[in-house]
Amino acid sequence: MRAIFRKEIASFFGSPVGYLAMGTFLVLSGLFLWVFKGPFNIPDYGFADLSPFFLLAPWVLLLLIPAVSMRTLAEERRMGTLELLLSRPTSAARIVLGKFLGVLTLVLICLLPTLIYVLAIWQLGSTTGNLDMGLVLGSYLGLILLSGTYSAIGIFASSLTENQIAAFLFAIVLCFAMYYGFESLSTLFSDGASALDIAGIGLKAHYESISLGVLDSRDAVYFISLTLFFLLLALIQVKRLRK
């Protein structure tokens, strides 16, 4: 697994993919937060907190992570190297986990430079340091858990096809459905309790719950369980290809 993980990281930064992913994430978030007028613009927001960033980031990651993960297994299948990997004394689980950790690590590297936003807000407040760090830490934890689930979905989508574009599009649709689909579906119910129950199935409700700065173990279990579920689906697909 370690060799596969290192290979993924090397392939990301040995080609423009890793740098393009990082640049795209930082440029898009920077433009929406500091330049473009709109609901995510921090100077227009009027409060010294990072809520606009944590509202925007899931949508940017919804595009970024499928773009990074689409090649992980699809390219291996197209090049015929997946069969070579499976013929070696390396379990399918190690292959899937190594690919997953490689994608997630790249995403975490993309998130690291956004810590400068924390410093900027820390300085921009009417009182220096007037920033709820519990809220910030909770929101970053939510982003990490959400990124893990998006990455697992991307790995699963990549395991289904040799076509990277098809894997990219399927991952976007699946991530969107899991993040926002259930909240949209809940609007069809007139009963408030039923609408809340339906919305609570989706990623968005649990992400927003963690972003409040209070870690509920149920939210963490939800994200981890969903991540493991999609990794299991990818594992089943890889094992099917071995036969």
pLDDT < 70 stretches in the chain: 46, 48, 89, 125-130, 242-243
- CA quadruple 55, 56, 57, 58: dihedral positive or negative? positive
Query: Amino acid identity, residue 22?
Result: M
* Domain span including residue 190: 2-242
Q: Which tokens is 100 given?
A: 């997953």
Contact 229, 236 (CB under 8 A): no
Q: What is the pLDDT of residue 126?
A: 61
Q: What is the pLDDT of residue 127?
A: 64
Contact residues for 146 (Cβ-Cβ < 8 A; gap 6+): 58, 61, 179, 203, 207, 223
Q: What is the pLDDT of residue 222?
A: 95
pTM above 0.85, yes or no: yes
Q: What is the pLDDT of residue 227?
A: 97
Residue with tokens 């689906």: 233
Q: Which tokens is 39 given?
A: 């609901």
Q: What is the pLDDT of residue 243?
A: 62
Q: What is the pLDDT of residue 217?
A: 86
Counting the structural domains of the chain, the total is: 1
Q: Which of 150, 142, 141 is nearest to 106 (CA)?
A: 150
Contact 158, 71 (CB under 8 A): yes
